Structure 1
Amino acid sequence: MELLYLVGSIIWNSLISCTLSLLLPFQILLRQGLSCLSSSWDGDGEGLTLYEGIVWHQRRRPIQHSFEYKVRYALIDLDRSSHLLSSNHLSADEARKVAGTTGTVRLLTIPPSVGYEQNPLSLYYCYELESSTSTLKKCIAEVTNTPWGERVSFVFNPNSDVAAKSLHVSPFMDMEGNWKMKATIPGDDLSVIITVQHPDLGEYFCAILRAQRVSSSKVPDHMLFFWLMPHKVAVWIYWHAFKLWWNNIPFVQHPRYTNPAYREEAASRDKMINCCKAGDFKTSGLCPRDDRNVTTHQFSWTDAKWPWS
């Protein structure tokens, strides 16, 4: 059933994107003749920074498999450009409430293009006001899987953090293990590093984003800059999933069919991780009875709006 749904969604999105691509030149001409922009995410340049770079994936076990592809991202100041986004993402105030910060919120994401949006990971950079300066304090990860259309969000420390794996993001990975994450402050360049630490396979997977800022003077039109970018990400995901299947990597069914309590188990593992970081982890593998002071990542699971962002 999921395979049929996936095939149907690919065909439907292809038709929509082809139609909108044919209309794109007319939309650009219309935008150039108007003082206000018609795009649902694009703006007049205020609060919008463009980045171009490379995403690199490496799987070390049970076989060696790696690939990379070019990506283009938008870094959006949600306080200045909240009108640029659809309801698929948090507002600046919502992000501040979740992260417990008081300063600027910037969202790193791939904007929708010709009717389609594909973001395996979007990041909110949440700053804290300290005297006359603003310091990056927390990040919110927004992880979306495909083709299941699910999303999990949680706050993490950008300097370095570890969280329990809380979403079935690949049909070739089980739910065991942790995500280790690190994100640099966006400037002329940025980087995001995520590794998967597995109890049996060790640190067997790594994903790295490295990108450089692109001058807006070099981009004649933002719609052209991001044209088919979400589609290219989806193609790379499905193509390399096919190659893993072709190489006989065991297929892992979504845990909702085999273990409906997988979310609760992920939250429990995360609590143990944070007990370890707090120095309160017992040799029995349990937190102390009074674990009210243990801070967990507070995962929030939702359904992503289709087609998945």
Structure 2
Amino acid sequence: MSVPGIPALYESTVRHVRAEPVRHSFAYRTYYWLVDLDDLPRPPWPLRALSGFRAADHGEGGAASTRADIDAYLAGHGVDLAGGRVLMLAHARVLGHVFNPLTVYWCHDDRGRLARVVAEVHNTYGGRHRYLLEVDERGRAEVDKDFHVSPFNGVEGRYRLGLPLPGDRLALTVALHRRGRPPFVASVRGLHRPATPGALLRLALRHPLAPLVGALRIRRQGIGLYLRGLRVHPPRAYDRGRRERTNRTR
């Protein structure tokens, strides 16, 4: 799939649907960036406070750049892109705030072929974890869950993911399947917007402090579910930290 202009913005709707033990769903509007890790955007000075990208916000957090971090991660699992392009979908820092429940990296080799997709998950406890995926031609993959995200889901089950490279539209799906139980489904649907200063300003005004507001909405929904009596699964010590392990598709 050709990508219509990088960097790009995607005005999006995030939706969570839970079928049991209580039926619950919620959705909120936000926007994401799709960026080339070798050519991160630098809008005019007044707008840079709305578009900060820092290596500390991803992966181990200590690399010189996010590109260096993802290359080191892939090399640790036997994958060499030989300088190929890496596209990242994520929230940028807005006035110093950022929270990325899901960051996706589409990693291409030096011939432009998609070599791997990396799904990076952040939880509200400060933990981070990456899943290294081999996707099919439609961007689909399956992987065992190996990281505590929601306080209402334990660390068991298997993810079925749809992570096609965005084009004119963004359409991502993460479904958690557990034996004999209906899935929990999260999705992101969005439309491409050129990353012009005007488009960025309009989206920032329409969705102010989007990463922070998104995190607050998730926490508010969690409080509501707790008050409805859902069992809380405490996170493991591992899931509170920033260490990473891979979980390959089988």
Q: What stretches of structure 2 of length at least 5 have no aligned partner?
A: 43-51, 59-64
User: After the TM superposition, which residues 99-138 of structure 1 pair with which residues of structure 2 at under 5 Å, given as runs?
Assistant: 99=74, 100=79, 101-102=81-82, 103-130=84-111, 134-138=112-116
Contact persistence 2:161–2:175 (CA under 8 A): yes
Report the counterpart of residue 173 of structure 1 in structure 2: 153
Report the counterpart of residue 19 of structure 2 in structure 1: 60
Higher relative contact order (CA 8 A, sep 6+): 2
User: After the TM superposition, which residues 192-211 of structure 1 pair with which residues of structure 2 at under 5 Å, given as runs?
Assistant: 192-201=172-181, 203-211=182-190
| CA distance in structure 1 between the aligned counterparts of 2:103 and 2:169, rounded to whole angstroms | 17
- 118, 124, 130: which one pairs with 1:140? 118
Once the two structures are TM-superposed, the CA of residue 183 in structure 1 deviates from its matched residue by: 0.7
Choose 212-221 or 60-69, whichever is displaced more: 212-221
| CA RMSD between the two structures | 3.0
> Could you say which structure has the higher helix fraction?
1
Report the counterpart of residue 287 of structure 1 in structure 2: none
| CA distance in structure 1 between the aligned counterparts of 2:231 and 2:212, rounded to whole angstroms | 26
Count how many residue pairs are aligned between Structure 1 and Structure 2: 217
Identity of aligned residues (%): 26
Q: What stretches of structure 1 of length at least 5 have no aligned partner?
A: 1-45, 275-309
- Cα deviation code 1:172-212 (max 9, x no counterpart): 111111121121112111211101011242x4200011111
| 1:86 is the counterpart of 2:54 | yes
Report the counterpart of residue 130 of structure 2 in structure 1: 153
- Cα deviation code 1:72-108 (max 9, x no counterpart): 0011111122886212236324424534234200111
Once the two structures are TM-superposed, the CA of residue 48 in structure 1 deviates from its matched residue by: 2.0
Give, as a single letter, the amino acid of the residue that structure 2 aligns with 1:86. R
Give the secondary-structure state (helix, strand or coil) at the position aligned to 1:143: strand
Distance 1:82 1:214, change over 3 A: closer
Query: TM-score, normalization: structure 1?
Result: 0.62
Query: TM-score, normalization: structure 2?
Result: 0.76
| CA distance in structure 2 between the aligned counterparts of 1:155 and 1:123, rounded to whole angstroms | 10
Report the counterpart of residue 232 of structure 1 in structure 2: 213
User: After the TM superposition, which residues 41-52 of structure 1 pair with which residues of structure 2 at under 5 Å, given as runs?
Assistant: 47-52=6-11
- Cα deviation code 1:22-65 (max 9, x no counterpart): xxxxxxxxxxxxxxxxxxxxxxxx94211111111100111211
Give, as a single letter, the amino acid of the residue that structure 1 aligns with 2:32. Y
| CA distance in structure 2 between the aligned counterparts of 1:94 and 1:256, rounded to whole angstroms | 23
| CA distance in structure 2 between the aligned counterparts of 1:215 and 1:49, rounded to whole angstroms | 5
| 1:95 is the counterpart of 2:70 | yes
Of the two, which has the highest radius of gyration? 1
| CA distance in structure 1 between the aligned counterparts of 2:110 and 2:126, rounded to whole angstroms | 35
Distance 1:138 1:220, change over 3 A: closer
